Chains A and B, each alone.
Chain A
Amino acid sequence: MSATDAVIPASTGAAAPASGDDLVTVDDLVVHFPITSGIVFRHKIGAVRAVDGISFTVKRGETLGLVGESGCGKSTTGMAILHLEKPTAGHVLYEGADLASLSGRALRRQRRRMQMIFQDPYASLNGRMTIADIVGEPLLVHKLYPRSGRNQRVRELLELVGINPNTLNRYPHEFSGGQRQRIGIARALAVEPNFIVCDEPISALDVSIRAQIINLLLELQREFGLTYLFIAHDLSVVRHISDRVAVMYLGKMVELAENAVLYGEPVHPYTQALLSAVPIPDPEAEENRRAVVLQGDVPSPADPPPGCHFHTRCPAAQEGLCNVEPPVLREVRPRHWASCHLVTNTDFPHIRAGEDDLAVVATGPVMGDASAATVVHTDALDAAGENDHGDV
């Protein structure tokens, strides 16, 4: 991960201004997967609450980072926004229009504006189609170019993402992972979308290729004014690319703030624990870095704990409050939302005060029981189980 940091040039994303108007509005989105029993007469015996009521907006032209542990529902959120997964409840508004009310042809037309870059470049390209067919299919389906112009357009798109246009009659298996991801990006761009969900677009790639893909995404954003929802579990990458960052835990959104604020002054105990686990590319600082290690495992989304989903592992959880009352996502200060009973509008408990002050581990004044958090050196852990990019 430190290699990634070394390759990626200084942050550019954080400075980009958000133009203000909302492109995508997610309103109390719920995605439950039913658990059924019985072969002939299926009946529902429960549900995996992959996404359990989240709301946020994505502003035009910004990059919203969405981070969280594996299985917290961030990918499902991305799928549901694009209606690849039908939401159980809630709405997704794109430029104010509800996608759920559309179907068939109208939905397909609307989807032109919203595309996705997938995690696994090996699974996301149809191995039986040539590159020309893969990138050209959106053009064909939407009848964007006449037959003669289509080929030219495909070549342009390939060149745009850095693929030799002369290879357009080749098959995906003849390309490397990074090249395939570029082809996937070219396909997404073919329909000239405004909004792209990047579902862990680099976690399946070689570390040496990641920076190239990230830079390509940033270049394309500048050139076409794209809006990204960038889903990842690599905190340093999200920090590099995002304007705002949202943190999810077990189907709920726990914190949402501007990049610098979230990384500098996280207020939610989960965000604090998550950030304290990021290694620092400076040996001395890394030596002194201490991490809050959360106890136990993530509870099953099929049976989330009552109250705050995080209370079972929270170092600051208060008996009688956190395990009873589910917290709501509140704006604790301007443009900074958090979902925690212990964070009030006047009091922001920090683990670390600023970027350079990483060695400090302390529980905030209102965090009563600190014994649940173990403080250890970080040799043994690399981002607290967040490093599962081998999951292809």
Chain B
Amino acid sequence: MAFVPPHDPFAAGEVAARERAVDIVVDESMASQAGVMWSPDAAIIAHKGTWHEVWERFRKDKFAVMGLVVIGILVFVAVTAPWIAPHDPTTQYDEGLTMKGMPVGSSSKFLLGTDTLGRDLLSRLMYGARVSLVIGVMANGLALILGVIFGLTAGFFRGSTETAIMRATDVMMAFPIYLLAVALVAVLKPSLWILIFVIGFVYWTPMTRVIHGEVLSIREKEFVAAARLTGCSNMRILYRHILPHLVAPIIVYTSLGIATTVLFEATLSYIGLGVQPPTPSWGQMISDGQNYYRSAPHLVIYPGLCIMLTVLAFNMVGDGLRDAFDPQQRRR
């Protein structure tokens, strides 16, 4: 985390500069007449909460807000799919296929056309968002929890604990994770929960490494020594002094992680080890449609676009949040 001196006038915006002007007044008056000539500004600025400030900074980032809107739409669609989807995603419509048995293009009945079995593509995409988001969030949550616990423990307590955890991480990372995931899924029979478990299990290592590295540097900071001196227990130091400094990396890696996980799920579905048909999933839809990419390119393009938009949206939100959370480096 780069350090920007608070008095650098070029690093500060107008508001910050005004705040600082108040500070200087305070500075000059403090030696002798503490508590006398305070600017009323100071008290007003002070009463806004942290989350409010984070939001204020976040909303100034156009791309991040766009990403958030996309995620919002995705979540809305995923949640309300049964009500807003124009058709049932698994029903095969007779009129969904041409005389030759080819998928039809967009029409007033099938807005984005149909797939090779005459099912409504739009409805399938909507239901597919459910699978992607559930797996993306849950698998990543699992990876995140494992990574943070292992990383914190290894970095904070050092010693043999650290050696054990970090060498296990190395071993884990030495595995080809796709192969491992494919093997695990094949053995355990693919289902939603198995997918979440497997993806979470193969993805905890990057988070562990990142957290471990961050903790190593944070635990040597003087404020940790100060906390120890004031009588904080290890748990309190971890929770109050170290964990908050991990918010930025956790958020960045979670957003990247969700993006990666959505892709991972798509990949597994593409090779047939994802969520099993007839439940629609984007990766499986691409796989089904790839043989028709010349005559019916929409079968590949729309799910591909969905995956891309989702990945992009999570990345942009993650970047925006990182900047918003870290006031010291908020202006790049």
A162 and B28 CA atoms in complex are apart in Å by 10
The interface residues of chain B lying within 8 Å CB-to-CB of A43 are none
CA distance in complex: A286, B206 (Å): 60
Docked Cα-Cα span, A70 to B46, in Å, equals 39
B230 lies within 8 A of A141 (CB): yes
Interface residue from B45, B47, B232, B328 paired with A137 (Cβ < 8 Å): B232
Q: For B247, give the chain A residue with the smallest CB separation.
A: A128
- Known contacts A108-B231, A120-B222: A164-B38 contact under CB 8 Å: yes
Binding site for B on A (CB under 8 A): 79, 82, 84, 108-109, 111-112, 114-116, 118-120, 122-130, 137-138, 141-142, 159-160, 162-171, 173-176, 178-179, 182, 184, 187, 190-191, 212, 215-216
Question: Do B222 and A124 touch across chains, with their CB atoms under 8 A apart?
Answer: yes
Q: Does B332 contact A (CB under 8 A)?
A: no
List chain B residues, Cβ under 8 A from A123: 221-223
A334 to B259, CA, bound (A): 74
| Contacting residues of chain B (12-66) with chain A, CB-CB under 8 angstroms | 19-20, 23-24, 26-27, 30-31, 34-35, 38, 42-43, 45-47, 50
Contact residues in A for B229 (Cβ distance below 8 Å): 82, 84, 111, 114-116
Distance of A182 Cα from B31 Cα, bound (Å): 11
Interface size on B, residues (CB 8 A): 40
B226 at the interface (CB under 8 A from A): yes
Assembled-state Cα–Cα distance A120/B220 (Å): 13
Interface of B is mostly: helix
Give the A-B pair count, Cβ closer than 8 A. Answer: 124
Of listed B24, B30, B45, B236, residue having the most chain A CB within 10 A:
B30
Chain B residue with Cβ nearest A197: B229
When C-beta atoms are compared, the residue in chain B nearest to A163 turns out to be B30
Q: A169 near B30 (CB under 8 angstroms)?
A: no
Are B231 and A138 in contact, CB atoms less than 8 angstroms apart? yes
B245 interface residue per 8 A CB criterion = yes
- The reply to whether A187 and B30 form a contact with Cβ atoms under 8 Å apart is no
The reply to whether B34 and A159 form a contact with Cβ atoms under 8 Å apart is: yes
Question: Quick one: given A138-B230, A176-B6, A179-B23, are A163 and B34 in contact (CB under 8 Å)?
Answer: yes
| CA–CA, A114 and B228, complex, Å | 12
Is the CB–CB distance between A167 and B42 below 8 Å?
Answer: yes
Closest A-chain residue to B25, C-beta based? A164
| Interchain Cβ contacts under 8 Å between A and B, 14 examples | A84-B225, A111-B230, A111-B231, A123-B221, A126-B227, A126-B241, A137-B240, A138-B231, A141-B231, A159-B34, A166-B42, A170-B45, A173-B327, A190-B230
